[in-house]
Structure 1
Amino acid sequence: MKVKTMPGRLTLAALALVIGASGVSDAADNNVYLHGALVAEPCVIPPGDEEIALDFGTIIDKYLYQNTRTLSQPFAIHLEECDLSIGKTVKVKFTGTENVALPGLLAIDAASEATGIAVGLETGEGQALPLNQNSGSYVLQDGNTILTMKAYVQGEPQAIAQQRIGRGVFSAVATFNLEYE
């Protein structure tokens, strides 16, 4: 028997069929366990803001050899309809593949032409946001809250020392998770 989970109301309809049919057949007792959690989130991400694209433009390799990293580029996570009775703070965690040579920084995708670089993340104030770790707490505002972050490109130490940063187009993907308190 295949059990397919479907979103929203369809999940409830499928569950009702499974339970209703269980008394008719000779199925073993208690062989399907379903779990879930219904929660209230203090804020919502507005439609269209679920994905954030950041273009670093053209980066000159000589700049990385001299400075090890680029200047930071700002981006923001927009939160709307924040209800402070449900939560007053939020922590952000960016998850993704970590660069081996630069722990805490995001590895570029394997299909990228460029090599010897990684993407770093930081708060709006310039404090490092290591990949796969929660940030400090941000205070939510009643209504709308904007979480300002920054990203930068950094050369790997060995690639800089040997002047072997590979030129070309690159991309990297991280997922952000919000933890409300």
Structure 2
Amino acid sequence: MGCYCIRILGRLLPVFFILLNHASWADTDIHFSGILVAEPCQLATDSEDQIVDFGPIAARQFINNSQTSPNSFNLRLIDCDLSIGQSVIFTFTGDEDADQPGLFAVAGEAKGIAIVLMDDEGNKVQPGKAMSASSLAEAENSFSFQAAVSGPEFSLVSAGSFTSTVMFSLEYN
């Protein structure tokens, strides 16, 4: 009887190794994907995810002024290749304030205020509206913008913290 078990094991053992070895032959696929873009410039890393901190603002400031002094920020485009594109159009998007059309809405406890975004010459940037094209220079370009808090009616302004998120897109020509 002991001989019979060894014969069965002896016959099953090669089948087991064949099945085990077959599992290591399993075919697998690797899929690669991506997007190849033809953009003439790269956005500098110091221009990504910027924070413009207005600091503490006294609500009483809006008694005599409809907006705060502007805070400046820059967007830098680097490694520009003018053979691919010679100008850029900025479009800033975000929630538009219901009470102050053309300005960006804020979220939080503060009420009666909105964010006004301006180019380097003080022209207001409208939410979702493309700006005029700006010429690019070879290599590096810096574009200056300003942001301020607008509170045109002091009686509607109430204190508290606030945030606003504004995104931008670039269109090259």
Is the pair's TM-score, using the shorter chain for normalization, greater than 0.5? Answer: yes
Residues 19-74 of structure 1 deviation map (CA, whole Å, 9 limit, x = unaligned): xxxxxxxxxxxxxxxxx964310100123432111001111112112111111110
Following the alignment from structure 2 to structure 1, what is the Cα–Cα distance between the partners of residues 84 and 63?
48
Q: Runs (4+) of structure 1 moved beyond 3 Å?
A: none
The aligned residue for residue 37 of structure 2 is 39
- One-letter code aligned to 1:127: N
Provide TM-score, normalisation by structure 2: 0.77
- One-letter code aligned to 2:113: I
Segment drifting more, 42-51 vs 68-77: 42-51
In structure 1, stretches of 5+ residues that fail to align are 1-11, 16-35
The structure with the larger Rg is 2
The aligned residue for residue 144 of structure 2 is 148
The aligned residue for residue 165 of structure 1 is 157
2:47–2:74 CA contact under 8 A, matched in 1: no
In structure 2, stretches of 5+ residues that fail to align are 1-29
- One-letter code aligned to 1:86: I
Q: CA RMSD in A?
A: 1.8
2:88–2:135 CA contact under 8 A, matched in 1: yes
Q: Counting helix residues as a fraction of each chain, which structure ranks higher?
A: 2
- One-letter code aligned to 1:144: E
The aligned residue for residue 54 of structure 2 is 56
Provide TM-score, normalisation by structure 1: 0.74
Q: Given the alignment of the two structures, is residue 134 of structure 1 paired with residue 134 of structure 2, yes or no?
A: no
Following the alignment from structure 2 to structure 1, what is the Cα–Cα distance between the partners of residues 32 and 142?
39
Q: Given the alignment of the two structures, is residue 114 of structure 1 paired with residue 106 of structure 2, yes or no?
A: no
Following the alignment from structure 2 to structure 1, what is the Cα–Cα distance between the partners of residues 65 and 159?
17
Residues 160-180 of structure 1 deviation map (CA, whole Å, 9 limit, x = unaligned): 16x131101111001010111
